[in-house]
Amino acid sequence: MKKAFSLAVALAVSSSLAAPFVAPAAWTAEQNTANKRGGEFRTATISDFKTFNPFTSAEATSIPGTMEEGAGLFMQDPRNDAIIPKMADAMPVVSNNNKRFVVKIRQGMKFSDGQEITADDWITTYKLHTDDAVGSNSFDSFKLSGKPITVKKIDKYTLQFDFPSVSANAYLTMSYTPWPDHIFGEAYRKGGAAAVKALWGLSTNPSQIVSPGAWVLESYQAGERAVLKDNPRYGEWNKDSRGNALPYLDRYTYRIVKDVNAQLAAFLSGQIDAFNPANADQLAQVKKAMDGGNLKATLLPNVSPAASSSWITFNWNKAGDPFKQKLFRDVRFRQAMSHIANRQAMVQLALGGLGVETYYSVYPVFKNWIFDSAPKYKYNLAAASKLLAQMGFTKKNAQGYLVDKSGKVLEFNLSTNAGNNIREQLGRIFADEAKKVGVKVNFTPIDFNVLVGQLTAKGDNRPFDAILLGLSGGGNIWPFGVNVVPCGTNLHSYNNPTNGACLVSKEQLMSKLYYQGDSTLDLAARRKVGEQLLKAEAELQGVVYLVGTTYHVAYNERLGGEYPRNMMDSYYGSRYTDLTFIK
């Protein structure tokens, strides 16, 4: 999540340091004028953590993702979306027809262990993300049209980025987090990818974990709690508008709970500080606790549409089950599944009426990138039955399920992550509607980490039928996923063979349009390409999109430093954590 502004005044600092990054006072509705420091920001997560390793982590909420907060060359200003320098000392020198960027790094920045952050750390991080043997979730972020983006060290504090073509997302691409060369680079040079993957597992002593960002791991108890403490080195180059070191807080903690209901209960009882209600029932519970005097909190409903998506993907790579592989590869089947998805019921029953029907990968919050020309396969059981009949499923067995001419039942397994109550409801609604037309859906929630492993598996016989999950992240400059849309990328979930090849012409077109749009700097022209891409995506139905939630904000009144209300949305969130303080 990023945005931009012009840098504030430079503060007087030691001659060995460059001017710090200054967080504008306008980023908070309630400034910390009393300079209150210390205290703990308490949050929760419904899935235990899988790793501390930033190169093998694929979780939306992760320890590396929390540690790296505030670490990137550039960011976006939540007031106006502009790109501004963060770990970069200034905006880059741009040449070669907007394809070369020479970036100066702020001098004097250090990792949490006191080692200086230099160009070598970006170079090593780039090398590891782009080594397929490492298996980084960011592997595809450093390619355009299959051609590599290269990063070169000019000197200790200067990097040169060369893009194979113009990219509208260039600044966000360059803003990856630098991880320590003296740890990961040393391991890589001695033992290759295997040595990197062996680092920072869950059994690693937190004292060995090193952070470039605002937080560093202090302790971890599996299934119970993760505690991160502030990185004092970060505060040396991150200041508020009055020159005080950031962050104000000294702890950022995760309570690990079994499901969303337990997370809500923890918020209502004052055990955690923030919660994003996802439906009317959750909003009502928060309001009731507030009205009854049992919870002192701020509740802001309907802040914006969500910057996330819920969807079902069908596995095209099932060589071990030719019947299902043929089924999932048939566009008529996937269109029928979209017709089966009763999105209105999902909004009403799973989201309590607070949400929107979705049909595309573009998040509802990015409404300027959703076009009426893209088709919608809306809820229509008769249309679904007609498409399935065209495929040869015209008869039902004694149990009421469709069968083909050989008597093969039309059925598949559908999984989601256990503990996510909303996704479990979405899956049950889908399975119930499917049964009405004679499709047997075996719906089973499973462990989140197992699910992600299945989804990201490559090969000709991947280990799942269908998965119901969601995605978040991405940007608002070109809101199509670089690791989702093009063939061969790690979240091109429906077709991920070993060689990464496209299977059908529509996939090839989508890959072409993705890179064409990303290389178009003119916004109006880029939107035209986006319209073509959205239309192709909708026609293919590689992924069946379901519903989008509405972003609601609730936080305990012990917290200060939130964004002004007009700056909050699901893309930027409700606060810049560096400026959060305990009142």
Q: Tens of pLDDT along 336-353?
A: 999 999 999 999 999 888
**Quick one: pLDDT at residue 14?**
32
Q: Give the residue-averaged pLDDT of 527-541.
A: 97
Q: Give the residue-averaged pLDDT of 406-414.
A: 96
Going from the C-alpha of 54 to that of each of 51, 138, 307, 453, the distances in angstroms are 8, 10, 23, 16
DSSP string, 369-436: G--TTS----S-HHHHHHHHHHTT--EE-TTS-EE-TT--B-EEEEEEETT-HHHHHHHHHHHHHHHH
What is the share, in percent, of the chain residues with pLDDT greater than 70?
Answer: 97
d(CA 576, CA 255): 21
Q: Give the residue-averaged pLDDT of 492-512.
A: 96
d(CA 394, CA 402): 7
**Is the pLDDT reported for residue 527 higher than 60?**
yes
Of the ranges 3-17, 77-91, 382-396, 412-426, which one carries the lowest mean pLDDT score?
A: 3-17
Q: What angle do CA 203, 273, 22 make, to 5 degrees?
A: 85
Of the ranges 119-123, 209-213, 488-492, which one carries the lowest mean pLDDT score?
A: 488-492
d(CA 80, CA 27): 11
d(CA 128, CA 138): 10
- Are the C-beta atoms of 491 and 183 separated by less than 8 Å? no
**Is the pLDDT reported for residue 491 higher than 60?**
yes
Instruction: Identify the bridge partners of residue 275 per DSSP, sorted by sequence position.
Output: 554
**Quick one: pLDDT at residue 440?**
98
Binned at pLDDT 50, 70 and 90, residue 17 comes out as low
Q: Tens of pLDDT along 158-208?
A: 999 999 999 999 999 999 999 999 999 999 999 999 999 999 999 999 999
- Are the C-beta atoms of 335 and 390 separated by less than 8 Å? no
Q: Which residues contact 237 (CB under 8 A, 6 or more apart)?
A: 17, 18, 20, 21, 106, 108, 109
**Quick one: pLDDT at residue 11?**
28
Q: Tens of pLDDT along 143-157?
A: 887 899 999 999 999
What is the share, in percent, of the chain residues with pLDDT greater than 90?
Answer: 86
**Is the pLDDT reported for residue 5 higher than 80?**
no
Q: How many Å separate Cα 349 from the centre of its chain? A: 25
How does the average pLDDT of the chain come out, rounded?
93
Q: Answer left, alpha or beta for residue 353, where phi above 0 means left and psi between -120 and 50 means alpha.
A: left
d(CA 55, CA 63): 12
Q: Give the residue-averaged pLDDT of 205-232.
A: 97
Q: Tokens in use for 356?
A: 């929107």
DSSP string, 457-477: --SSB-S-SEEEEEEE---SS
DSSP summary character for residue 363: -
Q: How many residues does the chain have?
A: 583
Q: Tens of pLDDT along 277-305?
A: 988 899 999 999 999 999 999 999 999 98
Q: Give the residue-averaged pLDDT of 440-454.
A: 94
Which tops the pLDDT comparison, 59 or 454? 454
Q: Give the residue-averaged pLDDT of 46-54.
A: 92
Binned at pLDDT 50, 70 and 90, residue 359 comes out as very high
Rounded to two decimals, the pTM is 0.78
DSSP summary character for residue 142: G
**Quick one: pLDDT at residue 350?**
92
